Amino acid sequence: MEKATFGAGCFWGVEAVFRRQNGVKNTAVGYMGGKTANPTYEDVCSDETGHAEVVQVEFNPAEISYEHLLEIFWQNHDPTQLNRQGPDTGTQYRSVIFYDTETQKKAAEASKTALNNSGKYKKPVATEISPAKTFYKAEDYHQQYLEKRGLASCHLPS
Any idea which residues carry the catalytic annotation? 10
Closest by Cα among 39, 25, 33, 35 to 7:
33
φ, ψ (nearest 5 deg) of residue 65: -85, 160
**Beta strand ranges found along 10-131 (DSSP E):** 24-32, 52-59, 84-85, 88-89, 95-99, 128-131
Angle between helices 11-19 and 66-75 (to 10 degrees): 130
DSSP class of 120? S
